[in-house]
């Protein structure tokens, strides 16, 4: 049975689930909604109430509890989002797969990093590099790299290890739009988009302090407070701050420090005009905690035994990572009438990262000219590289939107027209030298090679992009929702990479028309089947290159843009009265001109991702809630020049992802305010490349240039259990969360034979919150 056929069966299964869940939920009693609440208040205070099941602060002062898709999510189930349309659109009317993660979900699971936030989300693989302090940008959606935005504006584009980071404590919600989104956001890959929505000011005064301690968080302290600045509430503010001193994973002897601040100020002189100013600062002073282990000794046997999870491959006197970033921006809106509104969103953001790291570069390859004894003993030696560098980016982006709502007969139109502009300067410099061989048995390593390092990367790039877009959301007889849009982009890229062994310089001007069309049918019973087609485009900086005589770099033609196309069919069920959302989707994505490098040769290849996803968000109102997800994906490289056109799976992409989380809160009796929770996470097997250390081909494949690969690397599937317990009393909330409860030792992925990564060991977090 094909993947799409399996997806069709999954859609029918979701339809079958909808009716019994809805009936069960209707038997429960819903608690009354209140406009301002604080988690933990009320077990003994008359009239204060307890939010089932102990939700985070929810501030709502208008008739729209989610503030047009930018405000708090009450519980696990959001109803509105702007990620899929740039307008406040019900999720059930969005013709693409979409997940919204609110503060309640982040706090119930005590997620303190991006990878932890997404661990219960369908189609998202955030654990590729295990416990990773380098960046939050190693995230895949549907097996392809994600695009990153905050408040619907693009975050700086940098090398992943130096990427812009958003601390989960500073956001109100996180939106994951799966599939291409160039019709709204311009250049980007077709896998999907992650949009962080910032916490916003409120005229209702509140304050909270959070403290987390544990075997990795020691401690992490957060503060969040705000309120009105004048008597009529037209000026309001909010200040969010977090600081932490955390132990790094595995055998890393260092700790990492973070300080992050996110102030905001809102001015709303009347119901027609609003202006919100945003600022943020983040400083990380840490080290790399994602060790690069060889396949031999982790997922493949090594005669000298298994490499332990706490075996550190770095250098105490060399390793260091410092990240400094800041941003300032605003959101302006003016309504000329009930039907016509203008919005302008702007942000300037900058990030700079300095990094020194010694990391594993694999076990020496089998040498047919050496003795058997030497080849055997070589398997206890880990080659290491020492990299020193600095990278960064400064990005200015502004988005102008005009929204017009009107009626034509039985149709309701929401037309959005916009023009946005992006300008970014980025740089990346890396020096290389040998990090010295490390004995895997004794742990004794050689020093870093003396002398001047080799300059292996010296990239500089200027990107400028202008996009014009239009979209019409047409609702016909309140049943059929047609979303049609198109965007034209013109982008220039001025790229240079002048290194020790050559130069790669390219100036390109690219343009693309990116359409999207989708259709949703709203049934009376809450079911909403949909179908959509969308495209994406992304500029590829630089030019094709190869290694010539003496190692000199030979430059070829500039790369063409990468183009993506997706076909998606799905179905949702959302009760109009109850927080239940069930979703199923089948997708087929193709992407052309994906740039890769092999044996110092850079080239373009094509990829395809197809599969299906299931998601269930359920709140029965009686204290029980559940999150469930499952993804089956078949991701392929369909014309890899390094393998002479052989179709193969990309490395570090699992074939299946699944999870389930449930929590129960006691709403009455002596245990009122107590919540129990547990979760199960599953990552399927993945491909890790071909090992070349044995000299005994297990599955020989001849690649470009006659290179012979041998044993294929297969990373096994893994199951992980999480658990939590919390108690809310008066203004206090106390919690205990444990991730990887059984402390399983597992490899998350291998990106190649030299780079395999252990997953997060058991993590225990004790938390306390005081709200007033």
Task: Kindly report, residue by residue over 391-434, the tens digit of the pLDDT.
Answer: 999 999 999 999 999 999 999 999 999 999 999 999 999 999 99
Query: Reduced to 3 DSSP states, what percent helix, strand and coil does the chain have, rounded to the nearest 5?
Result: 10, 55, 35
Query: What pTM did the predictor assign?
Result: 0.90
Q: Is 283 left (phi over 0), alpha (psi -120 to 50) or beta?
A: beta
Mean pLDDT in residue range 170-188:
97
Residue 497: its pLDDT value, please?
Answer: 86
| Token pair recorded at residue 485 | 């849009």
Tell me if 355 sits within 8 A of 162, measured CB to CB. yes
pLDDT, greater one: 707 or 618: 618
In this model, does residue 597 exceed pLDDT 90? no
In this model, does residue 248 exceed pLDDT 80? no
Closest of 493, 351, 341 to residue 415, by C-alpha: 341
Tell me if 614 sits within 8 A of 657, measured CB to CB. no
Mind listing the pLDDT tens digit for each residue in 114-124?
889 999 999 99
Mean pLDDT in residue range 595-610:
78
Confidence of residue 489 (pLDDT cuts 50, 70, 90): very high
**How many Å apart are CA 163 and CA 155, to the nearest integer?**
9
Mean pLDDT in residue range 246-264:
82
For the chain, the structural domain boundaries read 3-58+72-462+470-528+544-771
Peptide bond into 709 cis (omega under 30): no
**Tokens 């700079």 map to which residue?**
352
Closest of 323, 313, 388 to residue 356, by C-alpha: 388
| Token pair recorded at residue 393 | 């980016």
**Tokens 């100020």 map to which residue?**
265
Dihedral over alpha carbons 82, 87, 88, 94 (to 10 degrees)? -70
| Token pair recorded at residue 545 | 């290159």
Residue 553: its pLDDT value, please?
Answer: 67
Mind listing the pLDDT tens digit for each residue in 682-699?
999 999 988 766 654 444
SS3 93: helix
What CATH number is given for 3-58+72-462+470-528+544-771 in this structure? 2.40.170.20
Residue 578: its pLDDT value, please?
Answer: 86
Confidence of residue 135 (pLDDT cuts 50, 70, 90): confident
- CA 34 to chain CA centroid, Å, is 32
Cβ-based neighbours of 464, under 8 Å, separated by 6 or more: 422, 423, 491, 492
For the chain, give the percent of residues with pLDDT over 90. Answer: 65
**How many Å apart are CA 516 and CA 536, to the nearest integer?**
9
Q: Give the Cβ contact number of residue 472 at 10 Å.
A: 15
**Residue 700 main-chain phi, psi, to 5 deg:** -65, 135
**How many Å apart are CA 299 and CA 714, to the nearest integer?**
7
- Residue 650 has what DSSP assignment? P
Mean pLDDT in residue range 537-555:
74
Q: Give the Cβ contact number of residue 369 at 10 Å.
A: 4
SS3 375: helix
Residue 382: its pLDDT value, please?
Answer: 94
Mind listing the pLDDT tens digit for each residue in 457-487?
899 999 999 999 999 999 999 999 999 999 9
- CA 280 to chain CA centroid, Å, is 19
């Amino acid at each position: 049975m094909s993947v799409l056929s399996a997806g069709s069966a999954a859609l029918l299964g979701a339809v079958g689930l909808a009716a019994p869940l809805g009936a069960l939920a209707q038997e429960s009693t819903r608690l009354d909604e209140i406009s301002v609440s604080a988690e933990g208040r009320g077990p003994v205070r008359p009239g204060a109430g307890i939010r089932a099941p102990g939700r985070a602060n929810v501030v709502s002062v208008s008739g729209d509890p989610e503030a047009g898709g930018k405000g708090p999510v009450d519980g696990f189930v959001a109803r509105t989002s702007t990620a899929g349309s740039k307008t406040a659109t019900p999720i059930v009317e969005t013709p693409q797969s979409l997940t919204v993660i609110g503060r309640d979900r982040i706090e119930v699971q005590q997620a303190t990093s991006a990878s932890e936030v997404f661990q219960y989300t369908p189609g998202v693989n955030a654990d590729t590099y295990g416990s990773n302090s380098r960046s939050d940008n190693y995230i895949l959606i549907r097996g392809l790299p994600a695009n990153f935005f905050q408040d619907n504006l693009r975050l700086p584009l940098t090398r992943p290890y130096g990427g812009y980071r958003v601390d989960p404590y500073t956001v109100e919600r996180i939106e994951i739009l799966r599939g291409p989104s160039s019709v709204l956001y311009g250049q980007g890959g077709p896998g999907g988009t992650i949009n962080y929505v910032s916490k916003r000011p409120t005229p209702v005064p509140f304050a909270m302090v959070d403290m987390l301690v544990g075997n990795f968080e020691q401690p992490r302290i957060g503060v969040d407070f705000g309120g009105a600045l004048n008597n009529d509430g037209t000026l309001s503010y909010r200040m969010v701050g977090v600081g932490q001193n955390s132990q790094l994973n595995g055998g890393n002897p260092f700790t990492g420090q973070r300080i992050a601040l996110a102030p905001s100020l809102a001015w709303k002189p009347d119901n027609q005009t609003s202006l919100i100013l945003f600022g943020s600062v983040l400083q990380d002073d840490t080290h790399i905690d994602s060790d690069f282990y060889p396949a031999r000794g982790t997922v493949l046997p090594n005669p000298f035994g298994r490499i332990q999870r706490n075996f550190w491959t770095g250098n105490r006197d060399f390793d260091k990572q410092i990240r400094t970033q800041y941003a300032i921006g605003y959101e302006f809106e003016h309504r000329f009438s009930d039907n016509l509104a203008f919005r302008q969103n702007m942000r300037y953001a900058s990030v700079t990262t300095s990094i020194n790291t010694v990391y594993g570069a694999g076990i020496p390859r089998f040498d047919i000219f050496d003795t058997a004894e030497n080849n055997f003993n070589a398997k206890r030696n880990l080659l290491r590289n020492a990299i020193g560098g600095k990278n960064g980016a400064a990005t200015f982006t502004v988005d102008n939107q005009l929204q017009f709502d009107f009626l034509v007969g039985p149709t309701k139109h929401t037309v959005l027209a916009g023009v946005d502009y992006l300008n970014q300067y980025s740089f990346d410099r890396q020096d290389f030298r040998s990090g010295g061989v490390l004995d895997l048995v004794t742990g004794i390593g050689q020093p870093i090679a003396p002398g001047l390092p080799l300059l292996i990367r010296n990239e500089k790039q200027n990107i400028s992009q202008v996009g014009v877009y239009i979209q019409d959301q047409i609702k016909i007889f309140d049943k059929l929702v047609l979303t049609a849009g198109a965007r034209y982009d013109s982008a220039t890229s001025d790229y240079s990479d002048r290194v020790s062994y050559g130069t790669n310089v390219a100036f390109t001007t690219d343009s693309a028309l990116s359409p999207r069309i989708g259709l949703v049918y709203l049934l009376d019973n809450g079911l909403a089947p949909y179908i959509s087609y969308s495209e994406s485009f992304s500029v590829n900086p630089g030019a094709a290159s190869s290694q010539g005589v003496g190692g000199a770099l030979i430059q070829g033609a500039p790369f063409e843009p990468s183009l993506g196309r997706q076909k998606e069919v799905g179905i949702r069920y959302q009760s109009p009265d109850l927080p239940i959302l069930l979703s199923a989707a089948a997708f087929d994505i193709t992407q052309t001109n994906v740039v890769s490098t092999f044996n110092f040769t850079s080239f373009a290849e094509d990829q395809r991702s197809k599969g299906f996803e299931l998601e269930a968000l359920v709140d029965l109102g009686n204290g029980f809630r559940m999150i469930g997800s499952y993804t089956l994906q078949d991701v392929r490289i369909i014309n890899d020049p390094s393998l002479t056109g052989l179709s193969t799976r990309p490395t570090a992409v699992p074939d299946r992802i699944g999870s389930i989380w449930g929590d129960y809160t006691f709403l009455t009796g002596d245990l009122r305010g107590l919540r129990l929770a547990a979760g199960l996470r599953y990552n399927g097997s993945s491909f890790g490349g071909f090992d070349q250390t044995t000299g005994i081909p297990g599955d020989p494949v001849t690649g470009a240039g006659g290179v012979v690969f041998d044993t294929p690397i297969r990373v096994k599937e893994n199951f992980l259990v999480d658990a939590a317990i919390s108690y809310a009393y008066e203004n206090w909330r106390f919690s205990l969360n444990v991730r990887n409860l059984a402390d399983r030792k597992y490899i998350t992925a291998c990106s190649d034979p030299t780079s395999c990564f252990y997953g997060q060991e058991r993590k225990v977090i004790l938390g306390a919150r005081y709200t007033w």
